[in-house]
Structure 1
Amino acid sequence: MKKTEARNDGILFLALDTYGRIGGIQRFNQRVIAALAEISGDKGWKRPAIHIMRDGKADIPETTAAEIRAFGRRRLGLIVHSAVAALNCKILFLGHINLLPVGLLCKLLSPRIKLVLFVHGDEVWNNPAYRRMRFYEPLMARALSPIASVSAFTASRMQKAFKLSAETFTLFPNAVDDIDRQPQKCGRNILTVARLDRHDRGKNIDALIKAMALLKRRNVECILQIVGEGPLRSELASLACELAVEERIEFLGHLSDGRLAEAYAQACLFAMPSSKEGFGIVFLEAWLHGLPVICGTEDAAAEIITDGVDGYAVNPWDIEALAERMAMLLADPDMAAAMGEAGADKVRSCYLMEHFKGNLEKIIAELP
């Protein structure tokens, strides 16, 4: 009992932009904040303190059960206020590897505090194409207990790059909110949803366009709809023209939640043969809409998808195999629907907010 009470004297969560941008890490951070607020309320602890860098005050929602401070670009302000807040906290969660030095400073000022780092994917893989590991990070990472990774794939990559013990890591999967699914239409649309920034070439949307060229030559009728915006759009459009499939490719740009739900309802399968997913939350979203999914074999998505059961995992550079799997799902709507339902069952069994909250409670309970 005494150990539990000692833990009740405060939780601090440091994050980078959380409400001012749209993205997977941003949604993850919002979910952490909501879960910490619920856990604290359930246990009668004081409200968690949330310090966010890059967000401005106007970005923060008015209704929240957590105490949120937005520091914009004021790095020194974040550091000073976090160091002071840490003196009255037992647990400090870090939302990004870039915040590790701030966490270590808090640990030096308050040695009893426990540091927990959330890791997502390429930010800790030490891949020069995305982010190089800072020389000081492996040593600093030894102060963490534990590192909460969204996937075993990301944990393994970070463990190797940072030369850490496997026991340092705990699995903490991402989650989605359940939905009321729209009635599915009998379309032949293949849907993919991705940012089209230059560093997102690893999503391999170009592989889908190349597969569409093979399907056209085999007289397989279908349309590829690409949701997302960014500099890669013009490059992908040029590729579609070069392969003479521009009439089969639709660039939908950014969509509202309502319009995106319509796109899912009109699709018959979801495909993104990425090689850079640290988890693959888009596959969970597609499953909730009843779609079978096609992922890549070279990243964390392959540990979420059960090949042949709720989708297919395909080598993203094997265009022939990718086109074959797409054609199989298009040709057998009953099989595709069964795979989509199997995926939806998996999401509701493992990847909803209740599971996210439970996993976070487990991390807190197991801190030494």
Structure 2
Amino acid sequence: MRRAEAQNAGILFLALDTYGRIGGIQRFNQRVIAALAEISSDKGWTRPAVHVMRDGKADIPETTAAAIRAFGPRRLDFVVHSAVAALNCKILFLGHINLLPVGLICKLLSPRIKLVLFVHGDEVWNDPAYRRMRFYEPLMARALSRIASVSAFTASRMQKAFNLPAETFTLFPNAVDGIDRKPVQETNRCNILTVARLDRQDRGKNIDALIKAMVLLKRRNVECILRIVGEGPLRSELVSLARELAVEERVEFLGRASDARLAKAYAQASLFAMPSSKEGFGIVFLEAWLHGLPVICGTQDAAVEIIADGIDGYAVNPWDIEALAAKIATLLADPDMAAAMGEAGAEKVRSRYLMEHFKGNLEKIIAELP
């Protein structure tokens, strides 16, 4: 943006459910709101306006530095009020591809506004297993000034599916909040931890591969327990699989965990594993690193952009159960190496993926808008 414009930037952020549900995109939206509020305060701009579809008024926190309006199920009100608010804004951020039509309406009413779309992963891959691209979206996407993608993997897949120029995309990684790591609690077992919501669309996280790997580890007399945090429709399938493979005594389902219980599970773990093939970024690996754990990811998605194979974790083909079991066994057999990998990951998070980096990257996007 030109300097004179930037000094008086009015910012509007449109998002789907943000405070009323728990999930990766919801946490991302909350982080965007906090960063935009800080940036606006630092520069003396007016408070950013935020319109949230689906959330109710009761979902919105009372203390916030942004002007947030929740519209619940009132979609028409959301569109109308967003279009009116956009008339006084220079930058419009869209939190999801589903909001692209609303962004276009705002652009038609206020042609000088700059549109920035955040993209996360499978919602823009045009993969029928997750979400098909709408026929009108490639044309609408041409109105965007920038597409801020959490990974090069997601940017590449969207660019190909939507036939968009590469220069439209900019890398905008996710982030986590730093923690005070708790002392490792003594345990007589080697615990492999994985965390997922266990929704039906989470099959691509390939937790079943971890259960199958437990069969090989049992056969080789590697003493360990797979602990699965999460609750959802997939749980019953995974329970049945563990029973069918006769490893139910080696698989623990912890259900949905509070922050304190989850922190305890991390503290009791020897490593974190999720050989996913559907990660648009892989924030769970950052969280595991903050707890000092080495990680195992899949080779078929964006996680390999974050994890340095053999340095802070291992990247394994999620369908190669033999290799997956071997890497788990390697980490369990060498606690010193595992600890060094976990610390290397923690240092990577501290140097690249905290809120200060998220805010700086967002500020850079704003400054570089054409």
Q: Structure 1: how far apart are the matches of 2:327 and 2:9?
A: 53
CA contact (8 A) 1:292 1:336 kept: yes
Name 1:333's counterpart in structure 2.
Answer: 335
CA contact (8 A) 2:124 2:154 kept: yes
CA distances 1:188-233 after superposition (whole Å, capped 9, x unpaired): 1000000101111000000000001110000000000000000000
Kindly provide the amino acid, as one letter, of the partner of residue 214 in structure 1: L
* Match runs of 1:26-45 below 5 Å: 26-45=26-45
Name 2:357's counterpart in structure 1.
Answer: 355
* Match runs of 1:188-227 below 5 Å: 188-227=190-229
Kindly provide the amino acid, as one letter, of the partner of residue 128 in structure 2: P
Q: Structure 2: how far apart are the matches of 1:305 and 1:175?
A: 15
CA contact (8 A) 2:7 2:43 kept: no
Q: Against the structure 1 CA distance between its residues 6 and 35, is the aligned structure 2 distance closer, same or farther, given a 3 Å change threshold?
A: closer
Computed over aligned residues only, the root mean square deviation of the Cα atoms, in angstroms, reads: 1.0
Q: What is the DSSP-based 3-state SS (H/G/I as helix, E as strand, rest coil) of the residue aligned with 1:290?
A: coil
> What is the Cα deviation at residue 9 of structure 1?
3.9
Q: Structure 2: how far apart are the matches of 1:65 and 1:185?
A: 38
Q: Structure 1: how far apart are the matches of 2:68 and 2:98?
A: 19
* Match runs of 1:69-84 below 5 Å: 69-84=69-84
CA contact (8 A) 1:311 1:339 kept: yes
Q: What is the DSSP-based 3-state SS (H/G/I as helix, E as strand, rest coil) of the residue aligned with 1:144?
A: coil
> What is the Cα deviation at residue 186 of structure 1?
4.4
Name 1:289's counterpart in structure 2.
Answer: 291
CA contact (8 A) 1:185 1:267 kept: no
Q: TM-score, normalised by structure 2?
A: 0.98
Q: Structure 1: how far apart are the matches of 2:4 and 2:186?
A: 54
Kindly provide the amino acid, as one letter, of the partner of residue 114 in structure 1: K
> What is the Cα deviation at residue 2 of structure 1?
6.8
Does residue 146 of structure 2 align to residue 143 of structure 1? Answer: no
> What is the Cα deviation at residue 185 of structure 1?
2.9
Structure 2: segments with no counterpart, 5+ residues = none
Name 1:94's counterpart in structure 2.
Answer: 94
Kindly, what percent of the aligned residue pairs are identical? 87
Q: Against the structure 1 CA distance between its residues 2 and 140, is the aligned structure 2 distance closer, same or farther, given a 3 Å change threshold?
A: closer
Name 2:126's counterpart in structure 1.
Answer: 126
Q: Structure 2: how far apart are the matches of 1:269 and 1:146?
A: 37
> What is the Cα deviation at residue 145 of structure 1?
1.1
Does residue 317 of structure 2 align to residue 324 of structure 1? Answer: no
> What is the Cα deviation at residue 3 of structure 1?
3.4
Q: Structure 2: how far apart are the matches of 1:2 and 1:134?
A: 34
Count of aligned residue pairs for this structure pair: 368
Q: Structure 2: how far apart are the matches of 1:20 and 1:221?
A: 41
CA distances 1:131-171 after superposition (whole Å, capped 9, x unpaired): 00000000000111110000000000000100111111000
Kindly provide the amino acid, as one letter, of the partner of residue 224 in structure 2: C
Q: Structure 1: how far apart are the matches of 2:300 and 2:364?
A: 30
* Match runs of 1:158-173 below 5 Å: 158-173=158-173
Structure 1: segments with no counterpart, 5+ residues = none
CA contact (8 A) 2:7 2:45 kept: no
